[in-house]
């Protein structure tokens, strides 16, 4: 097979791909653009309030990834059940997701309310931080967190509903919900952070209130859409009427999904640990990494969408028993991802000197953020390639391998490197950031052979037994 046939699709392939990923790119792009605007609004309050919000968001990031990891294991089954058109299997899988989301959300709220201050202090141990700066940052962070926890369960419910809808190839509904929520968030951020048009001036707490309101609106829309279109989303029919989950399915999802859950928690903790190590160089570094992270998220929307495309398109083909088709589609998706991120990385490098100027922070923070963004842009093709390798291996249920490939690698290599360089050397933060970003080249030498072996391309589902005798699972 020549290079073109193996890695480049025809017009029909790219038409199918764009129909699938364009709503994801639009939703994620607008979400991240509004996050940038939110960041600018909070940044208008000064470096310390922005650092406080950044610290809380690092904690919530761990929760978000725990939800993502737990639901991902079930989603592998859901996607393959849809490939079989097995609605009962999808229904049972949805129930597993729902229970998981409620339990983890309750646990997270408890942990954040009881141990929030102690967790925040882990980021404020830099030698250059004064007691006054620490006290004010903790106070602002506490104010933000006290409201933000209300939005944890709505976030989890959105991921449960919208994720299952996407498994059927439906991305427009979740996109619409996300867009509505984004504009609610943006409007109320402006009104509540600065106290415009008669609304109270609430500062960082106003930002938290706006986020919670947007989560509630998004949840209401997604749930209503899913139940209203029950003839299309047949998995939702009777989902609450007889809330029983086959023990055998729970066991299979647990066996497959537990490595993903542990992986996402450990990976998010690893990334938080890396940022915590950076913070040893001072509160200004927290602000700079926050700016760089927010801008980076805006530029990598295609990468996130391509990960979803691999999960959906490859997973559906594996579920239908088309192993060769799954491998073929995966090759074309990966090549497209790499090429597109050469362009994305170049754009980020070009924009890096200018975007941080929009923030009301010290010149030192702006210069640091610009350097971080240039490094991230140069490394974009590497990280995009790694991202889609992860989703390809995961789509066939090889979750223990993804656990080793993702979180174990993160702790053994970049997290350890950041700790050593920040704790035991006199290197500046920019060279340290460069080293941590580009050490992931090592990960390619692990991932590419795994991908080429094809060991991951497996079907892991069978047709389920219907709940009702008259129901046709096909």
Q: Residue 45: what pLDDT? A: 79
Instruction: For the chain, give the percent of residues with pLDDT over 90.
Output: 31
pLDDT at 473: 38
Q: Which of 82-91, 399-408, 431-440 has the lowest mean pLDDT?
A: 82-91
By C-alpha distance, which of 406, 407, 397 is closest to 326?
397
Structure tokens at 311: 């999960």
pLDDT tens digit sequence for 44-55: 777 788 888 888
Q: What is the DSSP secondary structure assignment for residue 467, as one 8-state letter? A: S
- State mean pLDDT over 317-342: 87
The full set of domain ranges for the chain reads 3-453
Per DSSP, the residues of 194-262 read HT-TT----THHHHHHHHHHHHHHHHHHHHHHHHHTTTTSGGGTTTTTT----HHHHHHHHHHHHHHHH
For residue 435, the model assigns a pLDDT of: 96
334 close to 416: Cβ distance less than 8 angstroms? no
pLDDT digits (tens, 9 = 90+) for 116-135: 888 888 877 765 567 787 88
What pLDDT band is residue 472 in, cutting at 50, 70 and 90?
very low
pLDDT band at 372 (very low <50, low <70, confident <90, very high): very high
pLDDT at 474: 36
Q: Quickly state the pLDDT bin for 31 (edges 50, 70, 90).
A: low
Q: What is the pLDDT of residue 386?
A: 93
Query: Average of pLDDT values for 181-201?
Result: 89
Q: Please measure the distance between the N-terminal and C-terminal CA atoms of the chain and give it in whole angstroms.
A: 35
pLDDT at 366: 92
95-109, 157-171, 229-243, 433-447: least confidently modelled range: 229-243
Query: What is the mean pLDDT of the segment spanning 317-324?
Result: 80
What is the 3 state secondary structure string of 66-120?
HHHHHHHHHHHHHHHHHHHCCHHHHHHHHHHHHHHHHHHHHHHHHHHHHHHHHHH
Confidence category of residue 35, pLDDT binned at 50, 70, 90 = low
- Cβ atoms of 467 and 88 within 8 Å: the answer is yes
**Do 414 and 439 touch, CB atoms closer than 8 A?**
yes
The pLDDT of residue 377: 95
CA count, 13 A, side-chain hemisphere, 99: 14
Q: What is the pLDDT of residue 175?
A: 82
- Please state which of the ranges 54-68, 164-178, 437-451, 457-471 shows the lowest mean pLDDT: 457-471
Residue 470: its pLDDT value, please? 40
The pLDDT > 70 percentage for the chain reads 94
Residue 272 has pLDDT above 70, yes or no: yes
pLDDT class for 445, splitting at 50, 70, 90?
very high
Would you list the DSSP string of 152-200? HHHHHHHHHHHHHHHHTT--HHHHHHHHHHHHHHHHHHHHHHHT-TT--
Region 164-187: mean pLDDT is 84
Interval 276-291 mean pLDDT: 86
CB atoms within 10 A of CB 200: 11
* Per-residue pLDDT reduced to its tens digit, 302-311: 898 898 888 8
Distance in angstroms (rounded) separating the CA atoms of residues 130 and 128 = 6
Q: What is the pLDDT of residue 127?
A: 56
Predicted local confidence at residue 464, as pLDDT? 58
Closest by CA to 122, choosing from 139, 104, 144, 138, is 138
Confidence tier at 471 by pLDDT (50, 70, 90): very low
Q: Is 115 exposed, middle or buried (0-12, 13-18, 19+ CB in 10 A)?
A: exposed
Q: Is the pLDDT of residue 465 over 80?
A: no
| Average pLDDT score over residue span 27-39 | 70
Check residues 442 and 324 and name the one with the higher pLDDT: 442
Q: What span, in angstroms and rounded, lies between the C-alpha atoms of 21 and 329?
A: 14
């Amino acid at each position: 097979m020549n290079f073109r046939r193996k890695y480049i699709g025809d017009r029909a392939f790219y038409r199918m791909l764009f129909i699938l990923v364009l709503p994801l790119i639009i939703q994620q792009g607008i979400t991240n653009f509004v996050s940038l605007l939110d960041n600018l609004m909070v940044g208008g309050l000064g470096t310390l309030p922005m650092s406080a919000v950044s610290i809380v968001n690092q904690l919530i990031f761990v929760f978000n990834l725990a939800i993502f990891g737990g639901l991902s294991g079930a989603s592998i089954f859901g996607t393959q059940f849809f490939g079989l058109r097995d609605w009962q299997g999808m229904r049972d899988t949805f129930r597993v997701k729902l229970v998981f989301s409620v339990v983890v959300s309750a646990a997270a709220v408890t942990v954040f309310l009881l141990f929030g201050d102690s967790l925040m202090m882990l980021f404020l141990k830099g030698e250059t931080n004064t007691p006054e700066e620490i006290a004010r940052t903790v106070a602002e962070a506490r104010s933000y967190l006290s409201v933000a926890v209300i939005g944890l369960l709505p976030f989890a419910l959105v991921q449960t509903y919208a994720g299952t809808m996407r498994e059927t190839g439906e991305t427009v509904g979740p996109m619409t919900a996300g867009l509505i929520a984004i504009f609610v968030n943006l409007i109320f951020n402006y009104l509540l952070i600065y106290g415009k048009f008669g609304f109270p001036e609430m500062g960082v707490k106003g930002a938290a209130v706006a986020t919670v309101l947007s989560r509630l609106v998004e949840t209401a829309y997604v749930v209503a859409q899913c139940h209203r279109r029950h003839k299309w989303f047949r998995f939702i029919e009777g989902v609450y009427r007889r809330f029983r989950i086959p023990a055998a399915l729970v066991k299979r999802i647990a066996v497959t999904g537990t490595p993903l859950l542990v992986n996402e928690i450990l990976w998010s903790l690893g990334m938080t640990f890396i940022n915590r190590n950076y913070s040893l160089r001072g509160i200004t570094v927290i602000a700079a990494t926050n700016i760089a992270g927010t801008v980076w998220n805006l530029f990598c929307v295609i990468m996130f969408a391509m990960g979803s495309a691999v999960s959906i398109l490859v997973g559906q083909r594996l579920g239908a028993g088309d192993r060769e088709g799954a491998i073929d589609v995966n090759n074309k998706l990966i090549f497209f991802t790499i090429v597109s991120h050469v362009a994305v990385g170049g754009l980020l490098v070009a924009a890096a000197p200018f975007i941080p100027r929009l923030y009301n922070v010290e010149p030192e923070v702006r210069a640091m953020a610009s350097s971080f963004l240039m490094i991230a842009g140069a490394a974009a093709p590497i990280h995009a390639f790694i991202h889609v390798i992860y989703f390809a291996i995961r789509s066939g249920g090889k979750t223990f391998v993804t656990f080793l490939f993702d979180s174990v690698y993160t702790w053994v290599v970049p997290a350890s490197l950041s700790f050593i360089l920040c704790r035991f050397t006199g290197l500046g933060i920019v060279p340290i950031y460069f080293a941590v970003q580009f050490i992931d080249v090592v990960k390619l030498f692990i991932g590419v052979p795994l991908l080429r072996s094809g060991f991951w391309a497996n079907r892991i589902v069978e047709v389920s037994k219907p709940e009702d005798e008259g129901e046709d699972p096909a």
